Structure 1
Amino acid sequence: MAKQATAQKRPRRERGSINPEDIIKGAFELAEEVSIDNLSMPLLGKHLGVGVTSIYWYFRKKDDLLNAMTDRALRQIVFESPYVDAANWRESLHSHAHNMRKTFMTSPILCDLVLIRGALSAKALRLGLEQMEAAVAGLVEAGLSPEDAFDTYSAVSVHVRGSVVLARLYEKTRSLDGPDFSAGEAATIDSETMPLMAALSAKGHHIGVPNTMNFEYGLNCILDHAARLIDEGRPAKKASARRKTSATPR
């Protein structure tokens, strides 16, 4: 059964002893227990030991509180800023993608606030562009054109975020007491009519599942393409450098 949204009642605070910072902090604590979806003003009041009207004084509705929580999550986002070492661009970008995915996968609250709720906010866009500047610069130094560098990092970012959000939505919607996706898929596959699918499923390959195997394959496809673009651009850059050298007056 789904986890029931409850909050441990604390000793009653004195009137006027709560402030917005306390409310936001308490909301994060409660969301870790009951999820963002099940967070409510009455539950938060019990969690904080205040009347619900004390919360409404600062946040007129749950949406206002979630906006404040999203702003806090964006300011305190915990995954490392993207750094691409031009000399080891593939390894550093690969590591960054996995670190970013791990951070969101291990923090459903961060995923819900930043990737789902805050995905279209101006603040999230500004943060993303600021982080993207350094990553794109590293890829340009590694040998990609600015356009290809932008598209490469953008593809990695979309791949990470899409994988995490799909996994989060799957966890939200699937029945906790029912079979997981892989079990349902295995029951659907007929080994006689689908021998390839049966053999691959037994090895851990699953269709449309945002697992590590599928994530790694997609990520490597993006990085392989970037590597090809860098290799294709090197002869042209060397020829251009030779032309510049020969044209220099002696």
Structure 2
Amino acid sequence: MAVVDTAPRRKRGSLTPDEVVAEAGALIEESGVDALTMRRLAERLGVNPMTLYLRFENRDELVGALVASRLQQVLVDPDAVRPPAAAPVEDQMVAWARSVRDALVGLGPLMSQVRDGRHMGGAVLDLTERGLAAVKAAGLDDEVAVAAFRSLFWHAVGFAVLRPSLWAHAPELLEGVELDAATHPNLARLAGELGAFDPDELFERTTRALVAGLVAPSRPDRGEP
């Protein structure tokens, strides 16, 4: 028995790239990243798959557009708490690192799908410009500023990537493990302190410590004891 296609069809030329991106996001939310195929998405939108290829070259470009859309939502969120330009440079740098972490956490499994950064739009450029502006505000020369930018970026990326897998299980990592005080004296003594913790508080503390070290070269030695 032949299967009859009952999906409603759109008027030719009425489908916009924004609609495609929005529907792709909805499909991923419902069924996961692996469910996103051009054919399945076309069925949901009521169009021929070739119609999607007129808007996006391939699946990677579509995923890149979706990633850029999600990033842009985080970066231009009017309700996001960001320090004013007059705030201490340390606060600006910490806030930028936090925005990187939050943006990547918000992407979830989409991050693993990004194949080509060229398709991620202006959001990545805006994010990079904000980070460079923050480190340059600390008075760092260009070479040191780039190194500081990279240090903050990868620090934030590490927290974002590890958050789903590590933070959820951290309290149980040593559960039931017999520790030999002779072999691991520090671990045996401090194991009780390595249980549950607040990842946001840890990120704030470690980021501020990193920022303090990064801006130190820009501050002259005043000979204070």
TM-score range, shorter chain: 0.5 to 0.7
Match of 2:27 among 26, 30, 37: 30
Q: CA deviation at 1:159?
A: 0.9
Q: CA deviation at 1:184?
A: 5.1
Q: CA deviation at 1:160?
A: 0.7
Q: CA deviation at 1:223?
A: 1.8
Mark the runs of 5 or more structure 2 residues left unpaired by the alignment: 1-5
Mark the runs of 5 or more structure 1 residues left unpaired by the alignment: 1-9, 172-179, 237-250
Give the whole-Å Cα distance in 2 for the aligned partners of 1:219 and 1:65: 33
What SS does structure 2 have at the residue aligned with 1:139? coil
Which one scores higher on RCO, CA 8 angstroms, separation ≥ 6?
2
Match of 1:78 among 74, 79, 103: 74
Alignment of 1:156-171 (within 5 A): 156-167=152-163, 170=165
Q: Contact between 2:89 and 2:134, CA under 8 Å: does it hold in 1?
A: no
2:202 is equivalent to residue 203 of structure 1:
no
Match of 1:41 among 38, 43, 53: 38
The size of the alignment, in residue pairs, is 209
| CA gap 1:145/1:62 in 2 versus in 1, 3 angstroms | closer
**Matched residue, 1:189:** 177
2:63 is equivalent to residue 66 of structure 1:
yes
**Matched residue, 1:136:** 135
Give the whole-Å Cα distance in 2 for the aligned partners of 1:159 and 1:224: 14
- Based on CA coordinates, which of the two structures has the bigger radius of gyration? 1
Post-superposition Cα deviations, 1:32-90, rounded to whole Å, max 9, x if no partner, equal 3333343222332343244445434544642342244345456x352269878566122
Q: Contact between 2:83 and 2:95, CA under 8 Å: does it hold in 1?
A: no
Give the whole-Å Cα distance in 2 for the aligned partners of 1:199 and 1:120: 50
TM-score (norm 2): 0.66
Q: CA deviation at 1:158?
A: 1.8
Match of 1:149 among 140, 145, 156: 145
Give the whole-Å Cα distance in 2 for the aligned partners of 1:23 and 1:122: 15
2:108 is equivalent to residue 108 of structure 1:
yes
Give the whole-Å Cα distance in 2 for the aligned partners of 1:150 and 1:195: 40
Q: Contact between 1:12 and 1:49, CA under 8 Å: does it hold in 2?
A: yes
Q: CA deviation at 1:101?
A: 1.8
Q: CA deviation at 1:26?
A: 1.1
Q: Contact between 2:23 and 2:45, CA under 8 Å: does it hold in 1?
A: yes
In structure 1, give the amino acid aligned to 2:104. F
Q: Contact between 1:85 and 1:138, CA under 8 Å: does it hold in 2?
A: no
Q: Contact between 1:104 and 1:111, CA under 8 Å: does it hold in 2?
A: yes
Q: Contact between 2:42 and 2:48, CA under 8 Å: does it hold in 1?
A: yes
Moved more, 64-73 or 31-40: 64-73
In structure 2, give the amino acid aligned to 1:21. D
**Matched residue, 2:3:** none
What SS does structure 1 have at the residue aligned with 2:35? coil
Post-superposition Cα deviations, 1:156-211, rounded to whole Å, max 9, x if no partner, equal 1221123213336x48xxxxxxxx533652236324445643564543458xx994
TM-score (norm 1): 0.61
